[in-house]
Amino acid sequence: MKGIENGKLSFKNYTILLNKYINTDWREINFQNRIVLPMLENIFIDKSEIEIVDVSTQYKNRESDSHTRQYYANNYTPDLLLVKNWLYYNKKISNNDYLAVVEVKSPKLDPLNKTKKHTEEEVQSYLDIGRSVILTDCLKWVFYGFSDMPRSFKFYDRGFKLYDRENDWGKDLEEYFGSDEFKRKSDIWDELISYITDTISLKLKSV
C-alpha cells in the first residue's frame, strides 16, 4: 500500500491519501478500497486468520447454495467484513467468526458530521443481526456494538464545517490538513489504531 513506512501507515500518509481522493475522485469506493481496506489489512498483517473482505456487491440476488448473507447483511449490505478464516463458501463459517462489518462513506458526498436516516438504518440493521459495526468517512470513525455505548474518533473539532456550498470545499479542507490544529490529531490516530487492534483481537480470542 502506498504510504506504508516501516510496516505501518502513518497519520501523515493517511492524510495525504485522504486529501488526494477528496480533491481528485471522491467516490465512496476510493475511500473504501484505497484507504480503509488496506489500512485494516496493515493493522492485522500479523494475524493471518483475520481477513478484510469486500462484500459491497453481495446483494440479495447473490444468495446461492455456496454463499449466504445471513450472518452479515439483511436489507442493507455492508462494504467490508472483518472475519476469521474467510471462505466464499461461507455456510461452513460460524456466526461468531464474523468479527465486525464496516460501512464506509465519502467524506465529501456523505459526511458523518451530518445525521442521515439512511445511515442510521444501515447501522441498526447490522446490529439487529448481532454484528459489531465500524462506520467511517475517514475523518470520523464510530464503533457500535463493541461496548455498551458507541465510541467515536474524529479528526476535527466541534464547529468545523466539512462542506459549505458557498465555498470551495476542497480548498478549505486542504488548508485544514496543513494546519497545526490538524497535525495535533496524531494522538487521536494512535488511539484509533490501538482501539481497532484491541477490540478486534479481543473478539478473535472469544471465538
How many CB atoms are closer than 10 A to CB 186? 15
d(CA 153, CA 139): 8
pTM over 0.85? The answer is: yes
* Residue with more model confidence, 69 or 8: 69
What band does 181 get if pLDDT is binned at 50, 70 and 90?
confident
d(CA 153, CA 192): 7
- 58-67, 176-185, 196-205, range with greatest mean pLDDT: 196-205
- β-bridge partners, 95: none
- Position 166 pLDDT exceeds 60: no
- Position 146 pLDDT exceeds 60: yes
pLDDT digits (tens, 9 = 90+) for 99-131: 999 999 998 888 887 778 999 999 999 999 999
